Amino acid sequence: MERFSLDAAHLLAGGMVLVSFMMLYQNRLLGLLNVFAAHAVVLSLSVAWQAYVQSAPHLFVTAAIALILKAIIIPVALHHMVLRLGVHRDIETVGGIGPTMLMGIGLVALSMVVMLPAAAEADPIAREDLALALSVILLGLLIMVTRQNAISQIVGFMSLENGLVLAATGARGMPLVVEISVAFSVLVAFIVIGVFLFRIRERFDTIDTQALDDFREGRE
Amino acid sequence: MGLILAILVQGIQMVLVLALAPGLIGFTRKVKARLLRRQGPSVLQPYRDLLRLVRKEAVLADNASWLFRNAPYLIFATTWVAAALVPTFAAGLHFSWAADLIAITALLGSARFFLALAGMDIGTAFGGIGSSREMLFATLAEPAMIMIVFTVALVAGSTQLSTVAEFMVDHSTLRVSLGLALIGLIIVALTENARVPVDNPATHLELTMVHEAMVLEYSGRHLAVIELAAALKLLLYISLIACIFVPWGMARQNDGVLGMLVGVVTWVGKLSIGGFLMVLFETAIAKMRVFRVPEFVGGALMLGLLGTLLLFVSRSF
């Protein structure tokens, strides 16, 4: 039973890494949003399994927050936003999916190399979850770096936050208050970013962040 | 006496894969037609097609070399050997020492080599385009396959399929690496068999085709042999996935005739489930552009790499 619970936790956390890679692979905005919703669903499953294994009922609340907020509300809102901005037909030009994927593999390897010795004393579930959560966070950063469209940058940011929640549930003893406040701060950040998006569009007629470069001060 | 019996069972396996391969193709076509609300040809239609092709005269181009005439038999022989080595209804058959995953990959690779050569031999534009595309996909599909083999071999401690299958039955655990390897192997199987997201097996004379373009010049018994080899390859990949990831129900080394019969029944069940799932996936998805295929197959390579990487996480306690 001990062995099985470990394997299942590992499987779900590994599933999150896999879905992060699927996000990296997508080059259509609406597809990206669907994959992001799947990311949140896997996160809430993973958190719920941790709650069951650690017999910590407050983690079920975290799982519910992840499911409702990140798998339903935010993707639906982003969906509306994409339709209102009229960018749902756009195909994003990521600088070559192959090299990006290879970079992602490199980041996963890096997080294993860093995390496994660093958390050598922790119990096995926490250690594996930490290593995988670090790779989810790094992959989220990679999504933010390699994308030009502001909406996919938001999605990268949100998936990064999913990685944080995964790390927090793997390490026991995170109080519920902290998690709820993190979740709500993400929601607030999401609203602020949404407002910004429309402002950027109003100003530059695009949400491609490359366009911002051309308007830097002190440049001809 | 025991030796004769062992060779007999191995012979049954060889004949069985050959006999069932066109039936599997017919089954997938029938299911696909039913899913599209059409009636579809009978399941036995591929057998009739093969008979018809065998009776017809083989027409050869003037500039066809000996390679063009011999390639179908070489392709068929290597594919058949590979398919007969994969444990289907029983593990630990007489020749299972040769059923090494790396050897099977190499056999399929040489079949592909001859197919691509034959495609270019006549010198038509279609043959060349098909061969070049096949090789483009192969440069990614083969390393992906090898990475998946490494993942499986690291988990099971052997590259021999019988050993792998018995290990999986005895130590059934949830391993994230195995999940990744499964998805990767499915992608490789779809690519190698020219199924829908990569190539459409139902069309002829389309600019995006790969497998059909290479065999366009073949006719008569040559075409029959090539079609049979393609069917065997599909059966091989489904059996391979079943043997590595769902080996339950397979007869063990010392099971008697009853165990073998149970093995045959479960194997046919697994084949039809595998074929059905494949067709379901095909009807749900559109064919992708040729230039997007390397990304798709590259995904399989990435999954294989990731599976091997994650193995070291779960190994480390």
Chain A partners within 8 Å of B316 (Cβ): 116
Q: Using CA atoms of B31, B32, B37, B43 in order, give the dihedral in degrees to the nearest 10.
A: -50
| Nearest CB neighbour to A98, from listed B298, B312, B316 | B298
Over residues A39-61, the mean pLDDT reads: 88
**Any residues with CB less than 8 A from the CB of B2 and at least 6 apart, and which?**
none
Distance from the Cα of B191 to chain A's closest Cα (Å) equals 17
**Residues of chain A with pLDDT > 90: what percent?**
15
| A110 touching B (Cβ < 8 Å) | no
> What is the Cα–Cα distance from B160 to B91, expressed in whole angstroms?
10
Q: Which residues pair with B90 in a beta bridge?
A: B251
Question: Are A39 and A80 spatial neighbours (Cβ–Cβ below 8 Å)?
Answer: no
The whole model's pTM is what?
A: 0.86
Q: Which of B173, B180, B317 lies at the smallest CB-CB distance from A18?
A: B180
At residue B3, what are phi and psi to the nearest 5 degrees?
A: -65, -45
Q: Is the distance from CB of B234 to CB of B20 less than 8 angstroms? A: no
Confidence category of residue A194, pLDDT binned at 50, 70, 90? confident
Residue A171 vs residue B256, higher pLDDT: B256
Distances in whole angstroms, Cα of residue B54 to Cα of each of A91, B70, B220 = 49, 16, 6
Mean pLDDT calculated for residue range A181-197: 78
For chain B, the residues whose C-beta falls within 8 A of a C-beta of chain A are 173-177, 179-180, 183, 294-295, 298-299, 302-303, 305-306, 309-310, 312-314, 316-317
Q: Is the pLDDT of residue B272 over 70?
A: yes
pLDDT of B173-186, one tens digit each?
A: 778 888 889 999 99
* Segment A82-96 mean pLDDT: 76
Contacts of B140 (CB under 8 A, 6+ apart): B294, B297, B298, B300, B301
B234: amino acid identity, one letter: L
| Per-residue pLDDT band at B316 (split at 50, 70, 90) | very low
Q: State the Cα–Cα distance between residues A22 and A101, nearest whole angstrom.
A: 10
**Contacts A–B by Cβ distance under 8 A:** 65
**Mean per-residue pLDDT over chain B, rounded:** 89
Give me the pLDDT at residue B317, please: 40
Compare CB distances from A7 to B174, B180, B305 and report the shortest one's residue: B174
Work out the pLDDT band at A211, boundaries 50, 70, 90: confident
